[in-house]
Amino acid sequence: MTNLLQLLIDALLMGGLYALMSVGLSLGFGVVRIINFAHGEFVMLGAYGAYWALTLLHVDPLLALPFLIVLGYLGGWLLFRGVVAWVLKAPALNQILLTFGIALVLQHIAVVLWTGDVRSAMPEYALSTTIIGDVFVVHGRLIAFLVAGTLIAALTTWLRYSETGRAVRAVAQNHDAAILMGINPGRIYALAFAMSTALGIASGAIVSFLINITPFMGFSILLKAVAIVILGGLGSIAGTVISAFILAIAETMVAYYVPEGAGWTEGVAFAVIVGILLVRPRGIIGSALAT
């Protein structure tokens, strides 16, 4: 039984991180209606940001986090105004290819600048553990979970109560009605995209001390995030968070109980994507359109 408890704790801590990775993607899709295939690359850039802060400036990833979030916000805003905004009215084909191209560019800028070497940021808490009863809790994972939880809570509060946050939700729900209420959708799009980028960068910063950092890490992260967002229903934050935990638990169980499970875990996300698209394309808490 303790084994099961340990697995659940591991999955829970992982789920928080998955949630943060996917919430940004979900926000971007819900408001701007573009699936950003470069989202995984934002996570990658965030991880490198934290890594360089630690190795070059001896700044802890957690201290670097606020700066990275601001940088991510500015970068996302520029990317939106400079590039993404031009295809908002274009066919889906152009939007898909554009963000795919951006992903390719960011990924290989990283290859050129920092080579393909595998790195990892190792602050003191990355590997230290506490034992509660029979359960091991790795401090790094716990911290990542807490940071992710805080950021998601802040995002939800902001969306729910602030004037701008409500404008964002209004645009997401009904673009035309929002314009009639005097909201400038262009501004809201830029804001939401920038916020989504900042969330990607933030998850990168806290991923930096949990997994290996390479220029190519973004793609598998993106696929997991896409699986989670689709499972939760495109554009639903609550659905995204719930399905992040579902995926984390499913992956942990597969890794542990299936023979050679560690290899199969990579497949869980794809099985989820295909399954949910076939059975219930609206997701579990689906408010998103099925077009």
Partner 1 sequence: MNPPSAAAILLAVAAAIAALVIPFLGMPLLTDIDFRICALAMIAISWNMMAGAGLVSLGHSAFWGLGSYAAILSANDLGAPFVVSLVPAVVAGGLLGAGLARMTGRLRGIYFAISTLATSEGLRVLATMLPDLTGGGNGLYLDSTLFPGNAAISLAIPCGAIVAALIAWAISRSRYAFALRAMRNNEAASQMLGVAPIRFRVGIMAVAGAIASLAGAINAWHGGYLDPGVAFDLKTTIDAQIAPILGGVYTLPGPIIGAIATIAFEEFTRALFGGMVGISLLVFGLVLVAVVLVLPQGLVGLLRKTRRR
Asked whether position 93 contacts partner 1 by CB under 8 A, the answer is: yes
State how far the Cα of 72 lies from the Cα of 191, in Å rounded to an integer: 12
Place of tokens 């360089």: 52
Q: Of 150, 233, 167, 237, nearest to 196 (Cα)?
A: 237
The burial class, CB within 10 Å (0-12 / 13-18 / 19+), for 281 is middle
Q: Which residues contact 4 (CB under 8 A, 6 or more apart)?
A: none
To 10 degrees, what angle do helices 261-279 and 237-257 make?
Answer: 140
| 284 touching partner 1, by CB under 8 A | no
Minimum CB–partner distance for residue 267 and partner 1 (Å) = 4
Spatial separation of the C-alpha atoms in residues 127 and 140, rounded to whole Å = 6
Give the CA distances from residue 33 to residues 48, 73, 89, 165, 277, in Å, rounded to whole numbers and listed in that order: 28, 19, 10, 17, 18
If the CB atoms of residues 106 and 202 are measured against partner 1, the closer one turns out to be: 106
Asked if 108 touches partner 1 (CB under 8 A), the answer is: yes
273 binds partner 1 (CB under 8 A): yes
From the list 69-77, 93-101, 146-154, 172-180, the region that binds partner 1 by CB under 8 A is 93-101
Site string for partner 1, 220-239 (x = CB under 8 A): ---x--xx--x---------
- Residue 81 touches partner 1, criterion: CB under 8 A: no
Q: Which residues of 213-229 are buried (b: 16+ CB within 10 A; e: fewer)?
A: bbbebbeebbebbbbbb
Which one of 19, 47, 102, 143 is in contact with partner 1 (CB under 8 A)?
102
Give the one residue of 22, 107, 197, 214 binding partner 1; rule: CB under 8 A. Answer: 107
Q: Is 118 in the site for partner 1 (CB under 8 A)?
A: no
Angle subtended by helix axes 217-232 and 2-32, to nearest 10 = 80
Residues 187-226 that bind partner 1 (CB under 8 A): 215, 219, 223, 226
67 binds partner 1 (CB under 8 A): no
Q: Quote the CA–CA distance of 185 and 175 in Å, as a whole number.
A: 7
**Candidate list 6, 71, 77, 100; residue touching partner 1; CB under 8 A:** 100
Asked if 112 touches partner 1 (CB under 8 A), the answer is: yes
Residue 229 C-beta: closest distance to partner 1, Å: 10
The interface with partner 1 within residues 148-177 (CB under 8 A) comprises none
Span from 65-73, 161-169, 192-200, 274-282 in contact with partner 1 (CB under 8 A): 274-282
Whole-number Å distance between alpha carbons of 248 and 39:
19
Buried b (16+ CB within 10 A) or exposed e, 11-43: bebbbbbbbbbbbbbbbbbbbbbbbbbbbbbbb
Q: Tell me which residues in 247-266 interact with partner 1 (CB under 8 A).
A: 260, 263-264, 266
Interacting residues with partner 1 between 29 and 58 (CB under 8 A): 35
Number of residues that bind partner 1 (CB under 8 A): 47
Which residues of the shown chain bind partner 1 in the complex (CB under 8 A)? 35, 83, 86-87, 90, 92-98, 100-109, 111-112, 115-116, 215, 219, 223, 226-227, 230, 260, 263-264, 266-267, 269-271, 273-274, 277-278, 281, 290-291
